[in-house]
Amino acid sequence: MAVDIYNLSELVSSILIFILSIFLIFKIGKSLKLNENEIILIFCWHSFFAFFFMINDLFHGHDSNAWYNKAHIGKDFYFGNSFMYAFSSVLQSLQIKYVAQNLIYNLLGTLTVFIFYSKIKYLCKYKSNKKFFFISSLFVLLPGLMFWSSGISKDSITIFAFALMYYSVNSKFNIYLFLFSIVLILLARPFLIAFFFAGPYLYLFLKLLFDKKTKYKKKIVYILILILMFYPLILITNIGLLYLGHVQEVIQYDLVNIYSLVTDYMQSSKTFYDSTNLGIPADTFFLKRYLYFLYMPLSITQESPAGVYFSLENLFFLFVTIIIIKKFKFNLKEINALTLSYYLSILVLFLFMPLIFSNYGIALRYKWLIIPYFLLAFLDLRKKIK
């Protein structure tokens, strides 16, 4: 269904949101210690791809078009798709139309890149990281990230929420930004919240396991406590199951039942995409699935220009991966517990995503929830290496 963008309400709302965006990018950009040239260049660069995303959506009617055209507030408001319809409906009731809504999401994507770039600038001030500044900056300015953080989509919200959470814990803890990022993830893709409980849980477990000051008997007691704490994580997992539509009225708290539901979903995903060229072959060895998730498509013999570009982008990912492996150092000094927990959460997310999803399109989007933090962790762990 086409969207009518040629009307006065569309024009007025777009101008107002654009002016607000300009005000916010300079205010927030300067607070992140970016200069005016960096702010303008990043905003223009991201806006170019946001415009491309919007035009593509207008002519092809993808998800963004659907969120806008089918906007409504359901009787039983819920997460995920329901939130997207409701949020677009609320904005339309305030006369914030299609182009203006795209400008709002463009603002979120621009702020995401601001956070990544500002952290790279900071981490690359250290002598051990200076040589990685150019390639790291290029990495977070790739068109793939610009494209998937644009438009009326859950991807834009989720990518921004992840970046905001990282910013809130990486230096001085900001409880308000942290809680706001949690809310955004819950609204857009609630099943991802479970991974941010798994990260701190794993951090505590590893800290206890390798703590030389804690006596053996105390370790056993603490480990038992951690095992008991695992049950609340199972409760949180049910949010994800509700989101996926596996549980309708009665929440299933049973671990065996949850495992069965997840494995059934994984198997159905494998079976569905096995008969197409859009996903990972069903018989792919599980370790190889991680390579598919990160680097496919990797052939320049693609049928479309977009396919050729994403192949080149994945080739660049492979190049950066080799650098990270070759130059990796492990120095935990001056990295706070919350930041380490965040990195572990991203690691756990990465361990699960290639096994759960078999679609290349999902991988192209979801990898931007993961790979920027691999790069940031790489720089963070090196920053005090002489």
Per residue in 148-168, pLDDT (tens digit) is 999 999 999 999 999 999 999
240: CB partners within 8 A, 6+ apart: 190, 191, 192, 193, 194
What pLDDT is attached to residue 256? 65
- What would the pLDDT profile of 190-222 be if each residue is shown by its tens digit? 889 888 888 888 888 788 777 777 777 777 776
- What would the pLDDT profile of 272-309 be if each residue is shown by its tens digit? 666 666 677 766 777 888 888 888 877 766 667 877 88
Rounded Cα distance, 176 and 157, in Å? 17
For residue 248, name the pLDDT band (cuts at 50, 70, 90).
Answer: very low
Burial class (CB in 10 A: 0-12, 13-18, 19+), 38: middle
Encoding tokens for residue 188? 């857009």
For residues 64 and 52, is the Cβ–Cβ distance under 8 A? no
**Ranges 140-149, 363-372, 377-386, most confident:** 140-149
Mean pLDDT of the chain: 85
For residues 378 and 324, is the Cβ–Cβ distance under 8 A? yes
- What would the pLDDT profile of 298-348 be if each residue is shown by its tens digit? 776 666 787 788 889 999 999 999 999 999 998 888 899 999 999 999 999
**Range in 29-38, 64-73, 151-160 the model is least confident about:** 64-73
Rounded to two decimals, what is the model's pTM?
0.89
Distances (CA, A) of 147 to 141, 153, 308, 369: 10, 11, 15, 14
What pLDDT is attached to residue 300? 66
Crossing angle for the helix pair 371-382 and 337-356, to the nearest 10 degrees:
150
User: Residue 142 gets which letter from DSSP?
Assistant: -
User: Residue 357 gets which letter from DSSP?
Assistant: -
Distances (CA, A) of 132 to 290, 314, 323, 324: 25, 19, 9, 10
User: Residue 275 gets which letter from DSSP?
Assistant: T
271: CB partners within 8 A, 6+ apart: 282
